Amino acid sequence: MEQLDKEKENLGMSLLKKGQKGIVSVIFSRVGFVTLILLLQFFLLFTIFYWFASMLPYYIGGSVLFTIVMVLHLINGNYDPTAKITWLIVIMLLPIFGSLLLWYTQSDIGHRALRDRISQLMKQTENAIPSSEQTILELAADNPGAASLCRYIGRTGCFPLYKNTTVTYFPLGEKKWEEMLKQLEEAKDFIFMEYFIIDEGLMWGRVLEILSRKAAEGVDVRVMYDGTCEFSSLPHDYPKRLKTLGIKCKMFAPVTPFASTHYNFRDHRKILVIDGKTAFNGGVNLADEYINHKKKYGHWKDTAVMLQGEAVKSFTLMFLQMWNIDEKNPSFTPFLNRPELKIPEAEGYVLPYGDCPLDSYQVGECVYMDILNRAHKYVHIMTPYLILDGEMNTALKFAAERGIEVILILPGIPDKKAPYALAKTHYRSLLASGVQIYEYTPGFVHAKVFVSDDREAVVGTINLDYRSLYHHFECATYMYKTGCISSIESDFQDTLQKCRKVTEATLKKEKWTTKLTGYLLKIIAPLL
């Protein structure tokens, strides 16, 4: 059995030479970039103090005046309240560096062209998929609040509300992968894949073998992944390597140290569309830990959904919008107008949607808060990270304080120590308001799930942290009274049985190093 797994893992390796990563990847990562900038500033400051010691009083006076001006700018600026506090502290401690960093991250350097192109594509495709007012009215007759939420999402982009879409829920990454392989084998016309992480191994090797075979059969195969992969899992020339197999491949926003600010705006989405008939969405990336073939942080708990029916059009459009950022003559219609599509009869309503960090909407956060505010009985949540702004923190507490059962499941074994420590800084306040918090004992929870009142749910890529809610391209599937809602809630309850409950007593037993790390990092939480 072990030998068979090894052979399967080598399927992808035999097609493409495995990429090599090394110290260069670390040096030119975001961490290396910021560290270098800080070291340069301290070097310059000490040099200035040494050579111009007599002018130190003037420097201090100028810094104080400059700090006052920047503080007034921040207080009156259009920033998230929690982010304001962070920037105030950074600028008061390091006036010059802090101000330059604020200007650097808030300016349009590096992402002005990206912002303009995204806006152009959104405008071009705002009516690419007709929306049905009748469908909205039918939902409004059942639940006016849910209908209002769908109207809001539709306002942020071309995200119609659908009926006639079956949704299958997968409680584990390996379950999604198993069905994904079956559906890929059925592809006849096109395969569109957009993932945050692709890593060579068993999972990607099996997928790549099918993709290369389908491309040879004439299927239009397109693969897109985030540019950070070249620092963590794939070599820089990977798109060229896939091209030799007949697969069209693009890297979204390769990270260029010093040259751009859009390292923040990563493509965190996970989308697979097959022939416009089937789509997958959820937290599962294409790497072996997501199917528990590789154990990194204990058992990896992740989730996904498969859509079949009309709502697949929205994921097709989302993929094409991102794919065509650098295309002069983008084509949408042939992939969206597919009259041969067999429409299944299915219960409930489905609305796939995206969240763009370059517009004025915080769609991901607003959807979550709306569900919390409209809940009658419960809101059950799975999330890998808990780095909250004031609004989301208040929404969670308010729901619990008005008698709603709010339960959070978070990782028992963290993948990153900093977010893990930051999450714990919210625990005591949430517990005091009646929010219940559990940690997944077997390992790491990567699922992004909201389910409420046995009637509505969200499964997608959106975490409860600043990166997902403010800085990343994200996507998710909103469902109302679909057949899989009961499966989502059942999975939540099954997962809950494998968790330890967080209480005031357990918080007192936390390591002092974890507590200290969380308290210190909370100052700069919006920047992480």
Distance CA 46, CA 49 (A): 5
Instruction: Note whether 346 and 483 are within 8 A (CB).
Output: yes
Q: Encode the chain (528 residues) as per-residue pLDDT tens digits.
A: 455 455 555 555 555 655 444 444 444 444 455 566 666 666 766 776 666 666 656 666 666 776 777 777 767 767 667 676 777 777 777 776 777 767 666 665 556 777 788 888 888 998 899 999 999 999 999 999 999 999 999 999 999 999 989 999 999 999 999 999 999 999 999 999 999 999 999 999 999 999 999 999 999 999 999 988 766 788 888 999 999 999 999 998 776 554 444 456 889 999 999 999 999 999 999 999 999 999 999 999 999 999 999 999 999 999 999 999 988 888 888 898 876 666 677 899 999 999 998 888 999 999 999 999 999 999 999 999 999 988 999 999 999 999 999 999 999 999 989 889 999 999 999 999 999 999 999 999 999 999 999 999 999 999 999 889 988 999 999 999 999 999 999 999 999 999 999 999 999 998 888 888 888 877 777 766
Question: CB neighbours of 133 closer than 8 A, spacing ≥ 6?
Answer: none
Distance CA 528, CA 86 (A): 11
**436-440 and 405-411 beta bridge pairing:** parallel
- DSSP state letter for 510: S
Total length of the chain: 528
Range(s) of the chain covered by CATH 3.30.870.10 = 2-13+113-140+157-353, 363-527
In terms of phi and psi (left: phi > 0; alpha: psi -120 to 50; beta: otherwise), the region of 209 is alpha
414-453: b (≥16 Cβ within 10 Å) or e: bbeebbbbbbbbbbeebbeebbbbbbbebbbbbbbbbbbb
Its CATH class, for the domain covering 363-527, is alpha beta
Assigned CATH for 2-13+113-140+157-353: 3.30.870.10
Could you give the dihedral angle defined by the CA atoms of residues 112, 115, 118 and 119, in that order, rounded to the nearest 10 degrees? -110
3-state SS track over 430-487: HHHCCCEEEEECCEEECCCEEEECCCEEEEECCCECHHHHHHCEEEEEEEECCCCHHH
**What is the value of pTM for the model shown?**
0.84
173-210: b (≥16 Cβ within 10 Å) or e: bbbbbeebeebbeebeebbbbbbbbbbbbbbbbbbbbb
